[in-house]
Chains A and B, each alone.
Chain A
Amino acid sequence: MLSVIEVKEIAHLARLGIEDENVSAYADDLNGILMLMAQMSELNTDGVKAMAHPMDQVQRLRLDNVTENNQRDYFQTIAPQTEDGLYLVPKVIE
């Protein structure tokens, strides 16, 4: 069962701003999903092949040819800040 603290941590990891008053409601919803998962995992699935994707197809591949041109100026028209061709973002310190 997810605790209120864990829900807050998950929200932080996903960079989702959630209001304190809603945290317990989120916890209830998420726990409901987890309980359904737990219920499903009780089923006997011996001999059932795992489904990798709901579409029963395989990935199509493309040839290794350059098809994209330089459109930097166009793309950067919507960037808040650029300099010397770089996108500028608030300083990140590792």
Chain B
Amino acid sequence: MTINTEWETVIGLEIHTQLSTKTKIFSGASTTYGAEPNTQACIISLGMPGVLPVLNEDAVRKAVIFGMAIEAEIAAHSVFARKNYFYPDLPKGYQISQFELPIVGKGFLDIEVDGEIKRIGVTRAHLEEDAGKSLHENFHGATGIDLNRAGTPLLEIVSEPDMRSAKEAVAYMRKLHELVRYLGICDGNMQEGSFRCDANVSVRPKGQEEFGTRAEIKNINSFKFVEKAINHEVERQIELIENGGRVVQETRLYDSVKDETRSMRSKEEANDYRYFPDPDLLPVFVSEELKAEIKAALPELPEAKKLRFKTDYKLNDESATILTSSRDLADYFESVVKISGCESAICANWITGELSAALNRADLEIATSPINAERFAGLVARIADDTISGKIGKQVFEFLWDGSESADEIIEKQGLKQITDTGAIEAIIDTILAANEKQAEQYRGGNEKMFGFFVGQVMKAMQGKGNPAEINKILKAKLA
């Protein structure tokens, strides 16, 4: 089914990023992922009576870093509020969040879709605590509660309803994902729930100014599902309206197995959170000094880095985009260029080619690459100075990947050094020409394809170690 062109989709995203602090937002309990249930749930995480929250400085700092990166206003005073609802994984009966006065105000993020840049507004970003986890399986009719996650600091980033397609929504989400990892404020691990997305989706007839009624799709935990969930929801709403129905404001859950969304809460009263300022917490003050300090320490942002890579390293747009897609990858590239002293183009080619492919196959990130920048630089340097050919380079790469030796050690040990000695190459070529007179005649008779045959034979005889340029030159002369 195709989406009817008379309709326009309007999407806003709420993204919860888990801030990568060592401890929780309001207590000194650890936030390490994967601990035994409830071993990181202190009395504050458990919501015991009489305990008081004390705000984590690093959570505030990371929120400010984000605000600066999207050029948002940072509130000098922001206020924590209680969002009240009852659920067993929220033992206090309220979540501490920010409501009227969030720490980060209006900012923006530029996304690129089909070669066009579009500015997406960020309405706000606020600090809040995460809830615990409910496990519904295997407890003989009971629900198991793990409060390790309760109190983990989150920065909820709310966008303006500026996106007009699922594709734009995914581009925005990817951009934000890249940014928070760049800034080092969130590890971006979607499987572990460090980066979660809720989408507000509505449709309206094209040209209509006022928004349609929106549905909120909850907890979509992959880029692929965001696109599918939104497209599905858009189709559902259009079909509903075209059949004379009406979209109701509700929360829907995306089922990735059935590829559909379904209503989650029927009682709308459940959405009355009765926010009020939390009397346990004073207003959060962000001083001009702190802002200046954070601004000075802000890392180079993806856009600026990409531009610099294009000018300083003379990279094309594609390479610059790939190499700046994560800070780790960009740092790796810069180290390889520096250590190898080679031209940036050859470094970029080998990183975006051989290395990226191998990392993909092994499902690894650059940070966990078995070949560090130093060893990789050693390989690139030997290719650049013609010690080995590109083809042999791929073999050396395999050894680097599987072992711990340097490229030079591998080349020496495996005897992979390229033969540039013209005398040695000539001798081999003579033998091959003598053994293949018929083919030589064919070539001389005009069958130019035969040249490739000879290059192949020579390379084979030299076990790939012959310098290709040298072989070509000598072969041409001998076959003339």
Contact = CB atoms under 8 A, between A and B. Distances in A.
Interface centre among B145, B264, B269, B272 (most CB of A within 10 A): B145
Interface stretch (B37-45, B163-171, B292-300, B361-369): B37-45
Nearest to A57: B282
A20 interface: no
A62 B142 contact: no
B343 to A, nearest CB: 43
B55 interface: yes
Contacts of A44: none
B281 interface: yes
Contacts of B88: 87, 89, 92
B283 A53 contact: yes
A55 B269 contact: no
Interface string B286-309: 000000000000000000000000
Interface in B219-269: 264, 269
A52 B283 contact: yes
A64 B264 contact: no
A66 B28 contact: yes
B79 interface: yes
B345 interface: no
A85 B142 contact: no
A84 B37 contact: yes
Contacts of B106: none
A52 B101 contact: yes
Give the interface size bracket for A toward B: 35 or more
Interface string A55-92: 10111111111111011100110000101111111111
A94 interface: yes
B30 interface: yes
Contacts of B346: none
B284 interface: yes
A29 interface: no
Interface stretch (B132-140, B316-324, B352-360, B374-382): B132-140
B143 interface: yes
B29 interface: yes
B105 interface: no
Given A86-B135, A89-B88, A94-B264, A70 B46 contact: no
Given A52-B79, A89-B142, A91-B143, A72 B283 contact: no
Interface centre among A62, A64, A75 (most CB of B within 10 A): A64
A65 to B, nearest CB: 6
Contacts of A61: 54-57, 60
Given A13-B269, A72-B38, A92-B87, A86 B145 contact: yes
A67 B28 contact: yes
B23 A66 contact: yes
Contacts of B281: 59
Contacts of B468: none
A86 B105 CA distance: 39
Interface of B: 21-23, 27-30, 36-44, 46, 54-60, 77, 79, 84, 86-88, 93, 101, 134-136, 139, 141-147, 264, 269, 272, 274, 277, 279, 281-285
Per CB-CB distance, the 6 closest pairs between chain A and chain B, nearest first, are A67-B28, A86-B144, A64-B58, A58-B285, A61-B57, A68-B42
Given A58-B285, A88-B142, 13 more contacts: A58-B283, A59-B281, A68-B23, A68-B40, A68-B44, A70-B40, A72-B38, A75-B46, A85-B36, A86-B37, A86-B139, A87-B38, A88-B139
11 contacts: A53-B279, A58-B284, A59-B55, A61-B57, A63-B57, A64-B56, A65-B22, A66-B29, A67-B23, A68-B40, A87-B144
